Chain A
Amino acid sequence: MAFPKKTKKALIIGVSGQDGAYLAKLLLEKGYEVHGTSRDHEVSSFANLVKLGIRDRVKTTSMVTSDFRSVLTALHRAEADEVYNLAGQTSVGMSFDYPVETFDSILIGTMNLLECLRLFKHPSRFYNAGSSEVFGNTKKPATETTPFYPRSPYAAAKAAAQYAVTNYREAYGLFACTGILFNHESPLRPARFVTQKIVSTAVRIANGSKEKLTLGRLDIRRDWGWAPEYVDAMWRMLQQKKPDDYVVATGEEHSLQQFVAETFRQLGLDWRKHVASDRKLFRPSDIEQSCGNASKARRKLGFKTKIGFKKIISALIKQDQIHQ
């Protein structure tokens, strides 16, 4: 930048979600002025920002990434040094229910942001939220060079969006990065996500509820990380000299059954007595195995994971017990 400013400004697109809220907190702690957008600024309660105690410190506006005019206005007004695009439909399961809106919010949204950034004389540094879902099944832990094999409308949209980011970086020299994040959890995950469903139901059962925990496939394997650590990796990507793409993962793989068993074990229960499987919850096409190799992020960004599988589960249980 020609005129270095004292306070850095960041714009978080999709600030009402899990990652948006943790990233806002991180950037505020680093002294940034934080602006955020949501489709629902006028009606949103911004519950996640409230839970983290930072609602009053984030300047929020209405913006919809698929609405070009609103993107242009928001970017122009914020004059941010860094723009983080975390908005869009985020559920793989629901992307089979509304594939078109999923594409709109993820791909068209990213394209609109890239196009607007390209119009500015001093474009902001841009982080785009990629997803491990682009790899489909991973025979061995995926790296940045592993070929894509998307298996859902969500994954197809994320894959296309990542190609768009790379293309704009190469074609126009934008400082644009994609973080290919594997699953990352926290108490701010919406209840419809399976990890949250498992923990809430198990806690209710531990408190005496007679219900069954009904799940789809239990044999799927995932690489689960801790969301607050992953947003730190996003920020680090934008502090590098050169823009690039990075896999962010723990490198550890566990089955959903292990997640269920560990959750019930920590609550002193035997999961086999409380869990039922329902074919209706199976996805039209699912990924059996998903695991990432983050050695590039560790080497170049100094990315570290401190919170592992068991700690994640105990943190989720603790938070849930406070709320129930």
Chain B
Amino acid sequence: MNTKRALITGITGQDGSYLAELLLSKGYEVHGIIRRSSSFNTERIDPLYKDRHEKGAKITLHHGDLSDPSSLIKILGEAQPDEIYNLAAQSHVRVSFDIPEFTGDVTGIGTLRLLDAMRQVTPKARFYQASSSEMYGLVQEVPQKETTPFYPRSPYAVAKLYSHWITVNYRESYGLHASSGILFNHESPRRGETFVTRKITRAVARIKAGLQEKLFLGNLESKRDWGYAPEYVEAMWRMLQQDKPDDYVVATGETHTVQEFLEVAFARAGLDPQKHVSFDERYLRPAEVDLLIGDASKAKKRLGWEPKVKFKQLAEIMVDADIEQLKKEMEGRHIRN
């Protein structure tokens, strides 16, 4: 059998880097799209790129942008992918209130540009769209499943909703093998540092090391369904191995408050959150999402996918990793660029 080729947009992000690792381990030739940037954040995939030189790992990076249709057509022509994973987005919910138009352009219309490029250049490819539990927003049903009506509560969620429906529409209109994974929150030591879980676990490491005293947070009452990112990218891959494209909720089925995450994370390092955490209204969203909890029984039944790492273990993995990383930084072995 020929080597399968995959194209990942957003390869420098948390999910992109885990997915690239997974696909390389399965023998795929991996192509990724990166944006221009004056201070590029490729640290998550730097180890894979090193393997390319040392062990012949099959990974190629292309410069492109979801806001530029011709760059997408060119890259699809060069990479000729069998599978396309659209993980690129302006993915920060609170920031989407500051740059709503850009968020709509990249997180929303960007998906249309990619689907349309695929329809023209590689119509036989299989397409994965990274949808988000934020689309449920002001939840209409508990827990949320594939048939639950959406109610987005941020420019980010509205843009993701557009992407979800345009994926469904291209599947139905043009017979594309296009699937949408509605993933609930999924975290890891590679989570961006401004996302609340990572912000907490980094702060725990820094407080423990005496580098920081206070941690400022917004709403502690929001409830989220938190899973472990490396397991979630496995679900993405499984969706594209099905005969028929479809949409799937991916979640743990448990919900916890930010406050609970805070407590588990601080306890892991023997610290008391009460002494260190303060409220800052700047971190509040103009419209909040209070409760998310997913029902992934369809993914379990059809994809044979089940989460193994649950809430407490997840928080502990992240705290341990941040303590370890900070130790390395302080010893000067790992200097952040």
* B107: min CB distance to chain A, Å: 12
Interface size on B, as a range, is 20 to 34
Judge whether A32 is part of the interface by a CB distance below 8 angstroms: no
Which one of A45, A62, A100 contacts B67 once the chains associate, using CB atoms below 8 Å?
A100
**CB within 8 Å of B: which of A25-42?**
39-42
Contact indicator A43/B194 (Cβ below 8 Å): yes
Given A45-B336, A68-B101, A94-B63, also A100-B41 (CB < 8 A): no
Judge whether B325 is part of the interface by a CB distance below 8 angstroms: no
Contact indicator A101/B37 (Cβ below 8 Å): no
Contact indicator B64/A48 (Cβ below 8 Å): no
Contact indicator B38/A62 (Cβ below 8 Å): no
Judge whether B100 is part of the interface by a CB distance below 8 angstroms: yes
Closest 3 CB pairs of A and B: A17-B38, A101-B68, A98-B68
Contact indicator A97/B63 (Cβ below 8 Å): yes
Which one of B41, B64, B95 contacts A98 once the chains associate, using CB atoms below 8 Å?
B64
Judge whether A255 is part of the interface by a CB distance below 8 angstroms: no
Given A47-B39, A100-B69, also A39-B98 (CB < 8 A): no
Judge whether B174 is part of the interface by a CB distance below 8 angstroms: no
Residues of B within 8 A of A14 (CB): 38
Judge whether B312 is part of the interface by a CB distance below 8 angstroms: no
Given contacts A18-B38, A98-B64, A101-B67, 16 further A-B contacts (CB under 8 A): A16-B38, A16-B39, A17-B38, A40-B37, A46-B39, A47-B39, A66-B67, A67-B99, A90-B36, A90-B38, A98-B65, A98-B71, A100-B69, A101-B36, A101-B65, A104-B68
Judge whether A63 is part of the interface by a CB distance below 8 angstroms: yes
Contact indicator A48/B98 (Cβ below 8 Å): no
Contact indicator B38/A48 (Cβ below 8 Å): yes
Judge whether A70 is part of the interface by a CB distance below 8 angstroms: yes
Residues of A within 8 A of B71 (CB): 97-98, 100-101
Interface centre among B41, B67, B95, B99 (most CB of A within 10 A): B99
User: Nearest CB to that of B98 among chain A residues?
Assistant: A62
Q: List 27 A-B contacts (CB under 8 A).
A: A14-B38, A20-B38, A39-B99, A41-B95, A43-B41, A43-B92, A43-B192, A43-B194, A44-B37, A45-B336, A47-B337, A62-B95, A62-B98, A63-B99, A66-B101, A66-B102, A67-B105, A68-B101, A70-B102, A73-B98, A94-B36, A98-B63, A98-B64, A101-B65, A104-B67, A104-B68, A190-B38
Q: Is the interface of A mostly helix, strand, loop or mixed?
A: loop
Residues of A within 8 A of B120 (CB): none
Residues of B within 8 A of A228 (CB): none
**CB within 8 Å of B: which of A46-101?**
46-48, 61-64, 66-70, 73, 89-91, 94, 97-101
Complex Cα distance A223/B70, Å? Answer: 32
**CB within 8 Å of A: which of B53-106?**
63-65, 67-71, 74, 92, 95, 98-102, 105
User: Nearest CB to that of B62 among chain A residues?
Assistant: A97
Which one of A44, A91, A97, A101 contacts B74 once the chains associate, using CB atoms below 8 Å?
A97
Residues of B within 8 A of A104 (CB): 67-68
Complex Cα distance A68/B68, Å? Answer: 18
Contact indicator B102/A97 (Cβ below 8 Å): no
Chain B contact residues, CB within 8 Å of chain A: 36-41, 63-65, 67-71, 74, 92, 95, 98-102, 105, 192-194, 336-337
Residues of A within 8 A of B70 (CB): 98-100
Complex Cα distance A255/B41, Å? Answer: 33
Complex Cα distance A17/B36, Å? Answer: 11
Contact indicator B39/A45 (Cβ below 8 Å): yes
Contact indicator B41/A45 (Cβ below 8 Å): yes
Contact indicator B64/A44 (Cβ below 8 Å): no
* A196: min CB distance to chain B, Å: 12
Complex Cα distance A297/B74, Å? Answer: 42
* A108: min CB distance to chain B, Å: 11
Complex Cα distance A98/B40, Å? Answer: 17
Residues of B within 8 A of A98 (CB): 36, 63-65, 68, 70-71
Residues of A within 8 A of B41 (CB): 40, 43-45
Complex Cα distance A296/B21, Å? Answer: 56
Contact indicator B100/A42 (Cβ below 8 Å): no
User: Nearest CB to that of B113 among chain A residues?
Assistant: A100
* A246: min CB distance to chain B, Å: 24
Complex Cα distance A5/B36, Å? Answer: 37
Contact indicator A99/B101 (Cβ below 8 Å): no
Complex Cα distance A67/B90, Å? Answer: 13
User: Nearest CB to that of A18 among chain B residues?
Assistant: B38
Contact indicator A42/B92 (Cβ below 8 Å): yes
Given A69-B100, A97-B64, also A42-B38 (CB < 8 A): no
User: Nearest CB to that of B106 among chain A residues?
Assistant: A64
Contact with B along A233-273 (1 / 0, CB 8 A): 00000000000000000000000000000000000000000
Complex Cα distance A43/B14, Å? Answer: 12
Contact indicator A48/B74 (Cβ below 8 Å): no
Residues of A within 8 A of B74 (CB): 97
Contact indicator B40/A190 (Cβ below 8 Å): yes
Residues of B within 8 A of A67 (CB): 99-102, 105
Residues of B within 8 A of A62 (CB): 95, 98-99
User: Nearest CB to that of B71 among chain A residues?
Assistant: A98
Contact indicator B194/A42 (Cβ below 8 Å): yes
Given A70-B98, A100-B67, A190-B38, also A45-B337 (CB < 8 A): yes
